[in-house]
């Protein structure tokens, strides 16, 4: 047993920190002040590409493709936590394949990888992709999505609406979850690549959010949106078969949910990053205002430090289990809900520490307080994480 | 390198102490509790397996293990009966004070004789929990509660140093709230001659850190047991046509209890690893103790709640866990002092 971070990884954390402090934090603050996502042509995104970001983990045709993070989940979680410390919103705003990358690597055909990940190998400009699950009528009840996919000759025709989708209006393509066979319930679900500019994809509305303003969360509609048959995720030569006859497609729902399971430690780590920023800001504030001797102030800070450490170890454990190839469903959900809720508590109590200064609306802690709330909502709410744990721990029925 | 696994040696120790606790202690927890003692043959077996000298250096006939081994063993024993654990581990956390200040010499002078005589016990008391006067090398004072029915060696730890007393103490039996299998007494010292004393604030802090972790790891075991017992019960008990665990109000509570136990465990292990690496660990072990005590306020009463009226009855162990966890949280200086130390990082 060992909870220490290796020297090599420490070096990478230092580099991430330097980039975070110089580039990420200022960009995030700018977006927050403007109350709008950073525009597509923002200089930051160019710099990010020059810095080596925005690229796919896929190694190109013939290269070995990994379905997980090539360097391991522990490492990606640790570096993700550091970036989130500087600005969580920016981690999503960053160009790159982002959230759908895991599922595409795991489930797409080689041809699809070439077509959809290829442009992200050495991107000529900042490029984004997007993953659309949530619908206006509900996001938690993933088995009950209303967006439909209908077969029409060599095409699929999608109809429905999606909401709060990260980077949707600037994405090259959106991986859209839709039901191809509603009678089958969740087993009818499939994921489709919908390319930007496809007729029928439209009605983009960039939502105004409480926090995490750096990236766009966009609602859109699919009206008789016609896409080629080989845009069905995982579907190559067998496109003419009925979806349920293809092994890969039978896993449609499962592979999507599997992706969300795998990304959970990352989301949890970003909550930790935000909370750690709130802790550091609180300590600076307490020092600057001569509050350190006050017992109530000290008690709050002690609680921040302790809970943060417990949450962080929980997240690391779930990531470590993933790297070991061991089941981590309970641990990943536990880490996510615990980290998100602790982070919210910390930001909330940190506001109390600021007193009326917090009410001015211009302190970093005030921004963190708004940003962090989303972490207990996205990629499975705190309640849904408990439902998942409950299934494992007490056999809670669906 | 991040690694959450246990090595084979530690796994073996955990397996052994778990079987011992389940086979030799579990069947008699209520008997030990009402008799305020653990059977002699159980004590003998515990000593035969060298569990009573887990951290004693090998040169003194001990197993020479570190803090991680200690917290693993305590979690297992705490999960069955923390009172019995205290009764069986006759040096208890007094070991840390003797070790920190007096090293091998003090251990062979004071600890060995305890282990060599059946039934003898060393107790650690904190000056902050008591009132003491020292005059001409003699100490007088009173400790309201110790979880023991004997005090063959009294080790008194203050913020700045420690004293050892062998004679001149008297015990008054108490009912005790929890940990009754260890016994429960108030302790009086009357002009008790101090046979050894040391001054060193840093060592005092180190000893206290380990003592707190000792308590926190027993508490961890109690919390695990309460949470697991009530979880199992909830899967088998039915109300409104389904297992009570399948009502979301209870399912979420059970999930949160499970999470609270894990948070305590991770902080306990974190502190133990720090100490075993030779780092100070004062802040981390204090944090682990605070976390354990806070979790006990949540888990103790809710473990009872999940069993409803049955939880309140002594036929089930959850009421015991509620009492034991409360008592353990008051021990070793309690939560307020621990919180002070856990916020040392702010200095
Ligand atoms: C900033 C932000 C970014 C997002 N980005 C994306 C994105 O990129 N792609 C995407 O697809 N989605 C995205 N989402 C949407 C997000 O995933 C959903 O909001 C979330 O899954 C919850 O769905 P909902 O909003 O429809 O709430 P609902 O599902 O309507 O839930 C409402 C409430 O009911 C509770 N609830 C629901 N079911 C149960 C149950 N069985 N037991 C107990 N309680 C229950 C929920 O926990 C919640 O408190 C984003 C959301 C936000 C805030």
Element (H, E) at B103: helix B103-106
Residue A138: helix, strand or coil by DSSP?
A: strand
Looking at the partner chain, which of B235, B273, B287 has a beta carbon nearest the beta carbon of A3? B273
Looking at the partner chain, which of B5, B234, B343 has a beta carbon nearest the beta carbon of A302? B343
User: Span A102-111, mean pLDDT?
Assistant: 93
Q: How far does the CA of residue B207 sit from the closest CA of chain A (Å)?
A: 21
Q: Which atom of ligand 1 is nearest to the CA of A130?
A: 8
| Alpha carbon nearest to ligand 1 atom 20, residue | A139
List beta partners, residue B173: B185
DSSP one-letter code for B315:
T
Q: Is the pLDDT of residue B140 over 70?
A: yes
B106 CA to centre of ligand 1 in angstroms: 62
Residue A108: helix, strand or coil by DSSP?
A: coil
Looking at the partner chain, which of A283, A313, A394 has a beta carbon nearest the beta carbon of B235? A394
Buried b / exposed e across A61-77, counting CB within 10 Å, b at 16+? eeeebebbbeebbbbbb
Segments in B170-317 forming alpha helices (H): 201-236, 248-276, 282-306, 309-312
Closest to A216 measured CA to CA, from A102, A132, A142: A132
Give the ipTM: 0.92
A88 CA to centre of ligand 1 in angstroms: 18
Residues sharing a CB contact under 8 Å with residue B1, sequence separation 6 or more, in sequence order: A2, A4, A6
Q: What percent of chain A has pLDDT over 70?
A: 94
Give CA angle at B59 (B57, B63), nearest 5°: 45
What is the structure's pLDDT at A238? Answer: 46
Give dist(CA A100, CA A81) in Å, integer: 20
Q: What percent of chain B has pLDDT over 90?
A: 98
User: Span B54-77, mean pLDDT?
Assistant: 97
Residue A41: helix, strand or coil by DSSP?
A: coil
Residue A187: helix, strand or coil by DSSP?
A: helix
Q: Which residues belong to CATH 1.20.140.10 in chain B?
A: 203-346
User: Span A11-25, mean pLDDT?
Assistant: 98
DSSP β-ladder status, B131-135 and B169-173:
unpaired
What is the structure's pLDDT at B231? Answer: 98
Q: Is the pLDDT of residue A168 over 50?
A: yes
Q: How far does the CA of residue A286 sit from the closest CA of chain B (Å)?
A: 10
- Structural domains for chain A: 7-96 (no CATH), 129-249 (2.40.110.10), 255-394 (1.20.140.10)
What is the structure's pLDDT at B320? Answer: 96
Q: How far does the CA of residue B151 sit from the closest CA of chain A (Å)?
A: 35
Q: The tokens of A128 are what? A: 């984004």
Say yes or no: B270 contacts chain A, CB-CB below 8 A. yes
Helices H, strands E: what count in chain A? 14, 7
pLDDT tens profile B25-35: 999 999 999 99
What is the structure's pLDDT at A247? Answer: 46
What is the structure's pLDDT at A70? Answer: 56
CATH fold for the domain made of B94-102+119-200: Butyryl-CoA Dehydrogenase, subunit A; domain 2 (2.40.110)
pLDDT tens profile B38-63: 999 999 999 999 999 999 999 999 99
What is the structure's pLDDT at A67? Answer: 47
pLDDT tens profile A59-75: 988 765 544 445 799 99
Cross-chain Cβ contact B231/A393 below 8 Å: yes
Choice between A259 and B264, residue whose per-residue pLDDT is larger: B264
Please tell me if the CB atom of residue A250 comes closer than 6 angstroms to any atom of ligand 1: no
Q: Is the pLDDT of residue A244 over 90?
A: no
Q: How far does the CA of residue A2 sit from the closest CA of chain B (Å)?
A: 5
Q: The tokens of B285 are what? A: 């072990």
pLDDT tens profile A319-363: 999 999 999 999 999 999 999 999 999 999 999 999 999 999 999
Give dist(CA A230, CA A232) in Å, integer: 5
Q: Which residues belong to CATH 1.10.540.10 in chain B?
A: 8-88
Give dist(CA B151, CA B154) in Å, integer: 6
Confidence band for A398, pLDDT divided at 50, 70 and 90: confident
User: Span B161-189, mean pLDDT?
Assistant: 96
Mutate to test the interface with B, among A74, A393, A397, A398 (most CBs of B within 10 A): A393
User: Span B189-193, mean pLDDT?
Assistant: 96
Say yes or no: B290 contacts chain A, CB-CB below 8 A. yes
Cross-chain Cβ contact B5/A338 below 8 Å: no
Confidence band for A257, pLDDT divided at 50, 70 and 90: confident
A139 CA to centre of ligand 1 in angstroms: 4
User: Span B132-149, mean pLDDT?
Assistant: 95
Please tell me if the CB atom of residue A381 comes closer than 6 angstroms to any atom of ligand 1: yes
What is the structure's pLDDT at A131? Answer: 97
Mean predicted lDDT score pLDDT of chain B = 96
Residues sharing a CB contact under 8 Å with residue A386, sequence separation 6 or more, in sequence order: A333, A337, B251, B252, B255, B256
What is the structure's pLDDT at A258? Answer: 72
Cross-chain Cβ contact A316/B5 below 8 Å: no
Confidence band for A185, pLDDT divided at 50, 70 and 90: confident
Confidence band for A237, pLDDT divided at 50, 70 and 90: very low
Give dist(CA B53, CA B91) in Å, integer: 8
A272 CA to centre of ligand 1 in angstroms: 20
Q: Which atom of ligand 1 is nearest to the CA of A138?
A: 26
Say yes or no: B278 contacts chain A, CB-CB below 8 A. no
What is the structure's pLDDT at A68? Answer: 45
Please tell me if the CB atom of residue A374 comes closer than 6 angstroms to any atom of ligand 1: yes
Please tell me if the CB atom of residue A140 comes closer than 6 angstroms to any atom of ligand 1: yes
Farthest-apart Cα atoms in chain B, separation = 72
Q: The tokens of B224 are what? A: 């695990």
Query: Which 34-73 residues of chain B touch chain A by CB within 8 A?
Result: 68
pLDDT tens profile A121-156: 999 999 999 999 999 999 999 888 999 999 999 999
Mutate to test the interface with B, among A290, A296, A390 (most CBs of B within 10 A): A390
Superfamily covering domain B203-346: Butyryl-CoA Dehydrogenase, subunit A, domain 3 (1.20.140.10)
A269 CA to centre of ligand 1 in angstroms: 19
Please tell me if the CB atom of residue A166 comes closer than 6 angstroms to any atom of ligand 1: yes
φ/ψ (deg, to 5) at B109: -75, -40
User: Span A218-224, mean pLDDT?
Assistant: 98
A138 CA to centre of ligand 1 in angstroms: 7
pLDDT tens profile B198-217: 999 999 999 999 999 999 99
Cross-chain Cβ contact B252/A390 below 8 Å: yes
Q: Which residues belong to CATH 2.40.110.10 in chain B?
A: 94-102+119-200
Q: For B8-88, which CATH class?
A: mainly alpha
pLDDT tens profile B275-322: 999 998 999 999 999 999 999 999 999 999 999 999 999 999 999 999
Mutate to test the interface with B, among A76, A287, A299, A309 (most CBs of B within 10 A): A309
Q: Which atom of ligand 1 is nearest to the CA of A377?
A: 20
pLDDT tens profile A279-312: 999 999 999 999 999 999 999 999 999 999 999 9
Looking at the partner chain, which of B4, B273, B346 has a beta carbon nearest the beta carbon of A298? B346
What is the structure's pLDDT at A260? Answer: 72
Q: Is the pLDDT of residue A249 over 60?
A: no
What is the structure's pLDDT at A248? Answer: 46
Closest to A171 measured CA to CA, from A231, A227, A217, A214: A217
Q: Is the pLDDT of residue A98 over 50?
A: yes
pTM for the model = 0.93
Confidence band for A240, pLDDT divided at 50, 70 and 90: very low
User: Span B219-229, mean pLDDT?
Assistant: 98
Say yes or no: A288 contacts chain B, CB-CB below 8 A. no
User: Span B126-145, mean pLDDT?
Assistant: 92
**Nearest chain A residue to B264, by CA:** A310
**Nearest chain A residue to B286, by CA:** A306
Q: Give the residue numbers of A marked as catalytic.
A: 379
User: Span B115-135, mean pLDDT?
Assistant: 92
A314: which chain B residues are within 8 Å (Cβ-Cβ)? Answer: 259, 262-263, 266
Say yes or no: B22 contacts chain A, CB-CB below 8 A. no
């Amino acid at each position: 047993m060992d909870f220490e971070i290796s020297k090599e990884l420490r070096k990478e954390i230092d580099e991430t920190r330097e980039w975070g402090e110089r580039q990420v934090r200022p960009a995030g603050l700018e977006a927050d002040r403007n109350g709008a996502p950073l525009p597509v042509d923002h200089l930051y995104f160019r710099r990010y590409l020059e810095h080596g970001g925005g690229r796919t983990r896929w190694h190109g045709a013939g290269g070995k493709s990994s379905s997980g993070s090539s360097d391991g989940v522990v490492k990606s979680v640790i570096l993700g936590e550091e970036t989130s410390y500087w600005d969580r919103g920016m981690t999503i705003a960053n160009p790159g394949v982002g959230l759908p990358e895991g599922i595409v690597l795991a489930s797409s055909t080689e041809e699809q990888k070439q077509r959809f990940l290829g442009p992200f190998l050495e991107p000529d400009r900042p490029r984004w992709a997007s993953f659309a699950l949530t619908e206006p009528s509900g996001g938690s009840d993933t088995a009950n999505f209303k967006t439909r996919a209908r077969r029409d000759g060599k095409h699929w025709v999608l109809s429905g609406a999606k909401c709060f989708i990260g980077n949707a209006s600037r994405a090259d393509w959106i991986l859209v979850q839709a039901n191809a066979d509603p009678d089958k319930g969740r087993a009818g679900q499939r994921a489709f690549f919908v390319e930007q500019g496809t007729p029928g994809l439209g009605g983009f509305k960039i939502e105004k959010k409480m926090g995490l303003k750096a990236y766009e969360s966009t609602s859109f509609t699919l009206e008789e949106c016609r896409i080629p048959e080989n845009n069905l995720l995982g579907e190559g030569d067998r496109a003419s078969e009925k979806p349920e006859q293809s092994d890969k497609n039978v896993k449609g729902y499962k592979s999507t949910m599997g992706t969300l399971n795998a990304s959970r430690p990352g989301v949890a780590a970003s909550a930790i990053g935000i909370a750690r920023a709130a802790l550091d800001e609180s300590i600076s504030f307490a020092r600057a205002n001569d509050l350190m001797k006050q017992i109530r102030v000290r008690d709050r800070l002690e609680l921040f430090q302790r809970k943060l450490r417990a949450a962080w170890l929980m997240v690391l454990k779930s990531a470590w289990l993933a790297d070991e190839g061991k089941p981590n469903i309970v641990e990943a959900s536990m880490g996510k809900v615990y980290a998100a809720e602790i982070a919210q508590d910390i930001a909330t109590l940190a506001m109390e520490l600021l007193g009326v200064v917090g009410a001015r609306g211009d302190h970093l802690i005030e921004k963190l307080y708004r940003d962090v709330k989303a972490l207990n909502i996205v990629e499975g709410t705190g309640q849904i994480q408990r439902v998942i744990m409950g299934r494992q721990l007490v056999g809670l029925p669906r | 390198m991040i690694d959450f696994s246990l090595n084979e040696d530690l796994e073996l120790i955990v397996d052994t102490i778990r079987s011992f606790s389940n086979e030799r202690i579990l069947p008699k927890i209520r008997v030990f509790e009402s008799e305020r003692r653990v059977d002699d043959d159980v004590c003998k077996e515990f000593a035969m397996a060298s569990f009573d000298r887990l951290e004693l250096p090998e040169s003194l006939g001990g197993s020479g293990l570190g803090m991680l081994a200690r917290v693993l063993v305590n979690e297992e024993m705490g999960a069955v009966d923390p009172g019995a654990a205290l009764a069986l581990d006759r040096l208890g956390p007094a070991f840390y004070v003797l070790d920190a200040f007096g090293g091998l010499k003090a251990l062979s002078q004071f600890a060995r004789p305890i282990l060599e005589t059946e039934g003898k016990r060393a107790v650690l008391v904190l000056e902050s929990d008591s009132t003491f006067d020292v005059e001409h090398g003699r100490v007088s004072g009173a400790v309201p509660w110790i979880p023991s029915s004997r005090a063959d060696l009294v080790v008194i730890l203050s913020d700045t140093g420690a004293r050892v007393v062998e004679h001149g103490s008297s015990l008054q039996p108490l009912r005790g709230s929890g940990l009754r299998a260890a016994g429960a007494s108030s302790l009086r010292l009357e002009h008790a001659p101090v046979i050894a004393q040391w001054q060193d604030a840093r060592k005092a802090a180190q000893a206290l850190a380990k003592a707190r972790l000792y308590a926190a790891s027993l508490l961890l075991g109690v919390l695990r047991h309460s949470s697991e017992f009530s979880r199992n019960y909830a899967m088998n008990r039915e109300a409104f046509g389904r297992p009570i665990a399948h009502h979301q109000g209870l399912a979420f509570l059970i999930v949160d209890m499970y999470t609270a136990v894990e948070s305590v465990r991770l902080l306990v292990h974190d502190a133990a690893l720090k100490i075993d690496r030779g780092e100070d660990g004062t802040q981390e072990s204090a944090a682990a103790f605070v976390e354990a005590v806070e979790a006990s306020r949540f888990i103790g009463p809710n473990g009872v709640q999940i069993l409803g009226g049955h939880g309140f009855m002594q036929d089930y162990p959850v009421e015991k866990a509620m009492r034991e966890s409360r008592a353990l949280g008051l021990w070793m200086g309690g939560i307020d002092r621990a919180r002070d130390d856990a916020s040392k990082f702010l200095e």
